[in-house]
Structure 1
């Protein structure tokens, strides 16, 4: 038997584990999936959780039922690539022949106070904690730091759910700057309609328990600060000796294998994946395809075949603007905007289709009823 250990049961790790198990079973593959939590977290919907919405609760074991994949709940403390071992909390050790590193990224806490005082979407508990804080707050200002798509989704969702609160979006540049002018203008109108106060060209230098400090010394009082302004890989990969980039993502070759340890695949946000247009940025849209590719590549290796190179191109930028609006920017393979875009009711329908829960798709993939290509197209 070949022991394949997958670290992380998010969108990407789940896709890698299911595909590896299905395609390698007849060739001696045995897959173990490791995750710190027993529940599957829909990271694309954490802004809805923060707004107090109750989403379906899916157990990882329930999703994996019938797949032959062994699930181990545990926190990964270290990886020893020379000994081919993963050390978990409580002194447990897992041996592997092949490893898939799908632990994603965490919030960049390099700005003073972010780690201590800001709410973050690093896990489901962080979104729940923010919801609990806002539910008990009658008035005041909520600061959302970061003008990317996650920041815009969060600011509009929170403003719609908590109209009694003032929501301020702080951005280094123009929010939704990666979109075309018409889609961006629609997002800006939605923020104005919902009362989101946008402060662009703004740099936060410190997060305090009840405020944020801007460059220049201005303070904005805040009953809660949500930090969405950047991520980086976990120190775990660097400490294990893997070659990483400046953001601690594992550098991989064309087949998604670590350039320093080719028996390790790195996928999703945790990997620095080069394509003809440059290094991919972390999204579910790109993450699930890397997981599916790694699962298939592992099966190829077990059959004595050379894994094929990974190829990917972006297709869209779907953004919810509260529960009653959305905007979709269609893009070229390098993620630059095309002319096509959607708004309003049609955008809501599109967003719910491509960014809806992947649980049903995972179950079909597990049973061999959904081709990997179809799951790639359905990933938001």
Structure 2
């Protein structure tokens, strides 16, 4: 372990996903900060490729240590409790580590609702590496002419259904949308997505509401029974309970509540980023498009605090939604800055090429940040921002006097 002298600052990052890895690398801008990342596994999980891993059309992991800067210490362990008063983190191994500043970036989890009878027992979530590995093993044993039901018509459900239909033409894939296909898409992009799914012979059922899951069937609210050899659940995400278990204030989902500089409402030395953060109580879309700008700002806040500067508020500007529909097709829904869809979209093979470029670029950006801390930029980073202590959405704007991209 590094020998910390009195003039050095200890920063601990909980989580090594999109937010945690980027934030840790970015902290290297200040060479007097010793950075430690705590992650449950030695692998970085490229979650946007988990559906490819399940269908055996691609891989979804990378060596986490290889993405982190040379001076960053990686601990493969699970954080079980944060003790703000002592500035320590208790680990599952029984070890305890101390910090001066903590970045809370524990991400999100695949979640199956207990309110749907049989869902937790008989369906397979896909949001985490271990869940995807379990599902892949099950699908490997699935015989020809089987029926695979994918529950959830959101982005994850669309991608999983399409990938499986393309890679396993011997099975029938049914997509149970729960009300509407692609609820975050505009009408034209939704229609294009449907056409491409139908080209892959995916049976899209828009209004199907799941009432019960059994070992060999899915029962819908209207009384319809859909035979299912395997049921995949993509209709929801959750977050780890670490913040709540540690006595920190969270939103109803369990995300850590912060101000606009991403500082915990309970402790000025705890900063949050990624899917597990709720700045001003807002529910941002769980995605690397949101997680990475939050991570850059979280790291910037810690750098500001260490340097004695007033942290500035986060900036967030969405540009679009990328959906892969198998390896050959896709949909790119262009969006407004607030993540609502525009009327413009890109479909087909061009969209598939763009999506693949974006997925590859994400890893490249994290790795580059490890080599050149501070190099990552994001939409809106150089524009005006609200004061850090001003609730999101306020009209009290001030010019950003320095680049918010630290």
**TM-score w.r.t. structure 2 length?**
0.86
Aligned match of 2:5: none
Q: Is the 8 A contact 1:364 1:370 kept in 2?
A: no
Alpha-carbon displacement from aligned partner over 1:135-194 (angstroms, at most 9, x marks no partner): 221232111111111111111111111111111111222111221221111101011111
Cα gap change, 1:352 to 1:116, in 2 (>3 Å) = same
Partner of 2:41: 37
Q: Which runs of structure 1 show a deviation greater than 6 angstroms over 4 or more consecutive aligned residues? A: none
Counterpart of 1:297? 301
- Looking at structure 1, the residues matched to 182 and 171 of structure 2 have their Cα atoms a distance apart, in angstroms, of 23
The DSSP-based 3-state class of the residue aligned with 1:358 is: helix
Which residue number corresponds to residue 122 of structure 1?
Answer: 127
* Residues 1:59 and 2:66 aligned together: no
**Equivalent of 1:191 in 187, 197, 222:** 197
| TM-fit CA distance, 1:370 | 6.8
Matched, 1:262 2:294: no
- What residue number does 1:14 align with? 21
- Does the CA contact (< 8 Å) of 1:144 and 1:167 recur in 2? yes
The structural deviation recorded for 1:369 is 7.3
Question: Out of 331, 335, 340, which is 1:336 matched to?
Answer: 340
Bigger mean CA offset, 198-207 vs 303-312:
198-207
- Retained in 2: the 8 A contact 1:167–1:195? yes
**Partner SS for 1:19:** helix
Q: Is the 8 A contact 2:318 2:379 kept in 1?
A: no
Root-mean-square deviation (Å): 2.0
- Contact conserved, 2:46 with 2:61, CA < 8 A, in 1? no
Q: State the distance in 2 between where 1:330 and 1:235 align.
A: 33
1:163 aligns to what SS in structure 2?
A: coil
The equivalent position to 2:100 in structure 1, one of 85, 97, 107, is 97
Counterpart in 2 of 1:280? 284
SS in 2 for 1:71: strand
- Any conservation in 1 of the 2:178–2:207 contact (CA below 8 Å)? yes
Please report how far the alpha carbon of residue 374 of structure 1 lies from its aligned counterpart in structure 2 after TM superposition.
5.7
* Change over 3 Å in CA distance of 1:370–1:55 after alignment to 2: farther
Q: Report Cα offsets for 1:307-340 as digits up to 9, x if no partner.
A: 1100111110111111110110111011122232
Offset from partner CA, 1:237-261 (integer Å, 9 cap, x none): 1121111111111111010111122
Structure ranking higher on relative contact order (CA contacts 8 Å, 6+ apart): 1
Q: Secondary structure in 1 aligned to 2:248?
A: coil
Name the SS for the 1:342 alignment partner.
strand
Distance 1:5 1:346 in 2: 41
Q: For residue 251 of structure 2, give the secondary structure of its aligned residue in structure 1.
A: coil
What's 2:187 paired with? 181
TM-score of the aligned structures, taking structure 1 as reference length: 0.92
1:267 & 1:18 partners in 2: Cα distance? 14
Name 1:365's counterpart in structure 2.
369
Quote how far apart the aligned CAs of 1:65 are. 5.0
Query: Which residue of structure 2 lines up, in the alignment, with residue 76 of structure 1?
Result: 79
1:136 aligns with 2:141: yes
Matched with 1:148 is 154
Give the unaligned 5+ runs of structure 1: none
SS at match of 1:313: coil
Aligned to 2:118: 113
1:160 corresponds to: 166
For residue 314 of structure 2, the aligned residue among 310, 314, 334 is 310
Asked if the contact 1:107–1:121 (Cα under 8 Å) also holds between the matched residues in 2, the reply is: yes
The verdict on how the C-alpha distance between 1:17 and 1:64 changes in structure 2, with shifts beyond 3 A counting, is: same
> Which whole-Å CA distance do the structure 2 matches of 1:370 and 1:90 have between them?
33
1:353 deviation in Å? 1.6
Equivalent position to 1:244, from 245, 250, 260:
250
- Kindly indicate whether the alpha-carbon contact (under 8 Å) linking 1:74 and 1:89 is maintained by their aligned counterparts in 2: yes
Residue pair 1:145, 1:171 contacting (<8 A) in 2 also: yes
**Structure 2 unaligned spans of 5+:** 1-7, 382-406
Q: CA deviation at 1:375?
A: 9.5
Is the 1:361–1:375 Cα contact (8 Å) retained in structure 2?
A: no
Question: 1:13-63, CA deviations, whole angstroms, 9 ceiling, x for partnerless residues?
Answer: 10111001x2222xx311100111111110011010111124275211222
The counterpart of 1:235, out of the listed 241, 249, 263, is 241
